[in-house]
Amino acid sequence: MSETRTTTLLVIGGGPGGYVAAIRAGQLGVSTIVVEGQQPGGTCLNIGCIPSKALIHAAQEYERAREYAGASPLGISVQAPAIDIGKTVAWKDGIVARLTGGVEALLKKNGVQLVRGWARVLDGKTVEVDTGQGSQRIQCEHLLLAAGSEPMPLPSMPFAGRVISSTEALSPASIPGRLVVVGGGYIGLELGTVYRKLGAEVTVVEAQERILPTYDAELTKPVAAALARMGVQLCLGRKVLGMNAAGDAVRVQDASGAETALPADQVLLAIGRRPRTQGWGLENLQLDRAGNALRIDDQCRTSMRNVWAIGDIAGEPMLAHRAMAQGEMVAELVAGQRRRFAPAAIPAVCFTDPEIVTAGLAPQQAQAAGLDCVTAAFPFAANGRAMTLESTDGFVRVVARRDNHLVVGWQAVGRGVSELAAAFSQSLEMGARLEDVGGTIHAHPTLGEAVQEAALRALGHALHI
């Protein structure tokens, strides 16, 4: 074993939370080491957020080309389009490679040491790293756990053979004729939509009675309608029993107990993710848990002094931007600054077609919190920019307190609404009121005008509806 190395901050995991924490610590002059077993960027950059959005874009472009091969009201016509999925995957991988290389360069620029290998925690100050060419021991003053999450398995349907996770789904060698997606949440629907647009017959099986059960029903209706137009079959309120004896169909059971088999050339198991807490010595710390996740306070401290946890390993919401914000805060705390994690809202985006974005409280959540609120929505059917984009399904909705008009929540569904997330979060963080949003001049013609119009409608005087 090589000589023991020492550092002030040791980060386990080079994902969004871990690498941001390390970069910020480096900026503040804190001696920092990051241990990462694969490429920097974690799940999000390598096998999650970025590659999935790349494939979503490619699938959308291919679908448009196919539409133009028929009758287009835009007057565009093309010959029968084709797609080389190998080139598509290579293009996606090129984007990932550039971004992971950029992360590595930023770590180096800020004086952060990157150790490639798999960490095993020995105690709250000591980690042993298997580099593949031997092992080395690292001792630290502060230990930051940013190990992320992993796809959740189904006991009746392990990952093997035709059953794949989102990781494999993001690098297809070919498009299956029939894909069964188990799980109607955002991961399953995003990737299921991609495969449908690329030509697969897609069936989505969901145990709940509707898709995207964590979102309110009004937001999911346009998504369900779009899936129906695409030809995606939805099997709702169904329990998955496993594969049939031949291994070429998924057995599902409805509420009455009746069983059917869904033929499948491939099965995408997307029932959720769980914190990655097994297999790397975390049990040696005996940290307090919150279910499967580590319990943290509003400074991301665990139950052990100078041991911190951020991102997916610390539970919901499992979002890269949450991990990044937590990582930045922990670095500043280690450097001696005073911080706590208390955002007004953490936005969430579902990149289905149409997209969904939420920030703050939905109407039902506001009511459950005991708030007397006014709610108003402005439809994209009355928005000029949406018309020019041939996408008028959906709306922007605002939730505000009735007494002082303080905005407490935003929701939107429609093509391209993910780009409204920044405006939603900023208004909540700055304590905007309906009059602030309604009185702000929004550029015309943009989808963002629907944000202003929703606020005006809540005040009783929307202009274009």
Give the residue ranges of the annotated binding site for FAD.
53, 312, 318-321
In the chain, the amino acid numbered 341 is: F
Cα dihedral sign for 291, 296, 297, 299? Answer: negative
Of the residues 57, 405, 444, 461, which is catalytic?
A: 444
- Contact yes or no for 15/154 (Cβ under 8 A): no
The two structure tokens encoding residue 307 = 């041991």
Active site residue 405: no
Beta-bridged to residue 179, according to DSSP, are 202, 266
What are φ and ψ of residue 231, in 5° steps? 90, 15
Residues at the annotated binding site for NAD(+)? Answer: 183-190, 206, 272
Please give the distance of CA 23 from its chain centroid, rounded to a whole number.
Answer: 22
Residues 457, 465: Cα–Cα separation, whole Å = 9
Helix (H, G, I), strand (E, B) or coil at 430: coil
Residues at the annotated binding site? Answer: 53, 183-190, 206, 272, 312, 318-321
Q: Which residue has the tokens 């100050």?
A: 125
Within 8 A by CB and 6+ apart from 437, the residues are 398, 407, 427, 451, 452, 455
Residues 346, 425: Cα–Cα separation, whole Å = 7
Burial of 23 (0-12, 13-18, 19+ CB in 10 A): buried
Question: Which of the residues are catalytic?
Answer: 444
